[in-house]
Amino acid sequence: MQHQACKPATGIETAPEGTVNTPPDRESVQTFALPSQHLRLTQVMLTDCSDRNNEFVHERLWLLHPSNGTLSLSGNLFLLEDLVQASGRIFVKHAPLPEARPIPSASDLQVSPNKGGGFTLSLLEAEGSSERWTVLDYDGDSLERIRVMQDWQKNQRPQTAGHVLPRLLSNTWGDRSRDSRMQEAFVIAEIEAAHRLGVDVVQLDDGWQKGTSSNSAKARELGGVWEGFWNADPNFWEPHPERFPHGLQPVVDEAASKGIKIGLWFVPDSWNDFANWHRDADRLLELFNTLGVEHFKIDGVKATSELALRNLNSFFSAVLEGSHGSVVFDLDITAGIRPGHFGAMEVGPLFIENRYSDWHSYWPHCTLRNLWKLSRWIDPRRLRMEFLNNTRNAELYAGDPLSPARYAPDTLFATVMFSNPLGWFEASNLPDPYVESCSRLIRIWKAHREALFSGTILPIGHEPDGVSYTGFMSVSPAHDSGYVLVFRELHPAACNAITIPDLGPGALTWELLAGEGSIVSSDTRLQVAMPEPLGYLFARFIR
């Protein structure tokens, strides 16, 4: 009888060694001893490039356990919670997102079990990079965690008006005429319409300048470029001589007479690792000093090397220093290889989305969802979120119960009013009923804007999905006042209960500011009644 070779036995138990896995020698390391055995680790995976993505936040959670072995994780943001002590520690990596880093890293954070109990956490920084970590501690619940995170992000920015308090911008690019209508008379009409709506800044997108970009309606005819601007034309960033024969001064003056500022689109030259960053910075400071332009939408960035990142940051720093912090950059992260959520926090808001009803890519509940999910981690004051003209392209959404046309115009503004709102449309193309509806809410928003954004903003309710009760809350530093914004999506019930943080003893008194419905509270519960789906309720509370 022949004996068959025995297969290796499985299921044999051995005691875990519990040794710490040493990080690679090529990376510098910060280590933290974690004596507690009862910890929860959250890996917050962020995404940008909204031209090809629409989910920007994913979270993975672990209850740390010796059987996990060593966890090697990639990302810019991690949360470690001591579940027994009700405390936490946030780890933030100042760097582009992993897929956009010029020096790739296998992992950013490692957690290993220790022999005898507890864990060791290691933070990794790629050798030769400009990466660095910030570690934030907090005690308490999610409200305290969000407050610490938002206060820290606020302190990264200049404490000037444009950086501290969100402003409502309009930008005509959202109606897809691109630069074909850009000229002095059109901009004057935009300023007048923006004034009626309540806009703070009219931003001129691609087309104000003499040079032709690759996004121009005449790019094929005129040979548009997307880098090497100074080589293509030393006067590329001068006002277009035919479209603005008198320069930009007339439109700046007209805007100022209406209490409006002019913003401009600009692309720092990615050519040769941003070798022209000095020239770019000098041009923006010239526009700031001569015309008072404070808002620049930064587009077209391709930071593919560590040198490119350093030069790009030098460009931002030079303009911020030269303007004493008055210039605000809207950093477009919709495409390309760009600093992302934590790579350039000090420069201004993140321009999150390019959504167009022309391309059947805009749904209000999707933009609301992205703001809601991002606001758990990114200060909403750092987010530029858009609302569109829902009277355009309604035929492309025929039969869709969540089509933009199903929403009242003021509800569209409400979906983004806890951020830096962006009117992604030609204001002069808005119908009168749209302007009347939105402008009422915008006036209320402006009256309460300073108090609203002085608080901690957090998402409440269910994450938006088109059929939920959802919204936001702003809580004052003393927890004795604030605001609530609730949306009833296509939810069948006219009443709903929403959990809110514990704000301490004492009843809250509520005042309805806008929208329809009623609201009362008891301890950590809101009871809201809203008569119609796809509506909102904006209320203030005091104790």
Q: What number of other Cβ atoms are within 10 A of residue 15's Cβ?
A: 6
Residues 105 and 202 in one domain: no
Residue 507 lies in a domain: no
> Does the residue 229 lie in any domain?
yes
The tens digit of pLDDT for each residue in 90-138 reads: 999 999 999 999 999 889 999 999 999 999 999 999 989 999 999 999 9
Edge to edge, the sheet with strand 481-488 lists 456-461, 469-475, 481-488, 535-542, 509-515
Residues 97 and 58 in one domain: yes
| Rounded CA separation 263/106 (Å) | 40
Q: Are residues 171 and 133 in the same domain?
A: no
Is position 151 within any domain? no
Check whether residue 223 and residue 345 sit in a common domain.
yes
pLDDT for res 29: 83
Distance in angstroms (rounded) separating the CA atoms of residues 382 and 445: 18
Same domain for 97 and 201, yes or no, is: no
Alpha-carbon span 412 to 368, nearest angstrom: 9
Same domain membership, residue 220 and residue 135 = no
235 & 352 share domain: yes
Per-position DSSP letters for 400-445, written without gaps between them:
-TT-GGGS-HHHHHHTTTTSEEEE-S-GGGS-HHHHHHHHHHHHHH
Could you give the CA distance from residue 118 to residue 32 in angstroms, rounded to a whole number?
A: 11
Closest Cα to residue 92, out of 80, 106, 105?
80
pLDDT of residue 105: 86
Q: Are residues 170 and 133 in the same domain?
A: no
Residue 260 lies in a domain: yes
Residue 318 lies in a domain: yes
The CA distance from 108 to 72, in Å, is 7
Q: At what angle do helices 249-257 and 184-197 cross, to 10 degrees?
A: 20
Residue 2 belongs to a domain: no
| pLDDT for res 23 | 47
Say what the pTM is.
0.95
126 and 219 assigned to the same domain: no
Which residue among 109, 140, 171 closes a domain? 140
Q: What is the pLDDT of residues 190-213, one digit of tens each?
A: 999 999 999 999 999 999 999 999
CA distances from 32 to 92, 114, 122, 131, 402 (A): 15, 12, 6, 18, 48
pLDDT tens digit sequence for 161-185: 999 999 999 999 999 999 999 999 9
d(C-alpha 501, C-alpha 373), whole Å? 17
**Number of folded domains that form the chain:** 2
Residue 262 forms part of a structural domain: yes
For residue 217, the enclosing domain spans 161-396+413-429
Tens-digit pLDDT profile for the chain (543 aa)?
A: 444 555 555 555 555 554 545 444 446 689 999 999 999 999 999 999 999 999 999 999 999 999 999 999 999 999 999 999 999 999 999 999 999 999 998 899 999 999 999 999 999 999 899 999 999 999 999 999 999 999 999 999 999 999 999 999 999 999 999 999 999 999 999 999 999 999 999 999 999 999 999 999 999 999 999 999 999 999 999 999 999 999 999 999 999 999 999 999 999 999 999 999 999 999 999 999 999 999 999 999 999 999 999 999 999 999 999 999 999 999 999 999 999 999 999 999 999 999 999 999 999 999 999 999 999 999 999 999 999 999 999 999 999 999 999 999 999 999 999 999 999 999 999 999 999 999 999 999 999 999 999 999 999 999 999 999 999 999 999 999 999 999 999 999 999 999 999 999 999 999 999 999 999 999 999 999 999 999 999 999 999
**263 and 344 within one domain:** yes
Q: Out of 90, 107, 140, pick the residue that ends a domain.
A: 140
Measured CA to CA, the distance from residue 516 to residue 535 in angstroms comes to: 7
Cβ-based neighbours of 480, under 8 Å, separated by 6 or more: 503, 506, 542, 543
Which residues contact residue 241 at a Cβ distance below 8 angstroms, ignoring those fewer than 6 apart?
210
Answer yes or no: is 366 within a domain.
Answer: yes
Sequence-distant (6+) residues with CB within 8 A of 69 are 112, 113
So what's the pLDDT on residue 28?
A: 64
> Which CATH number characterizes residue 382's domain?
3.20.20.70
DSSP 173-212: GGGS-TTTT-SHHHHHHHHHHHHHHT-SEEEE-TTSBSS-
Sorted by sequence, the CB contacts under 8 Å of residue 150 that are 6+ apart come out as: 379, 381, 456, 457
Residues 382 and 253 in one domain: yes
What lies within 8 Å, CB to CB, of 429 at 6+ separation is 175, 389, 392
Instruction: Let me know whether 179 and 230 are in one domain.
Output: yes
Alpha helices in 129-183 (DSSP H): 142-156, 161-164
Distance CA(246)–CA(292), nearest Å, equals 17
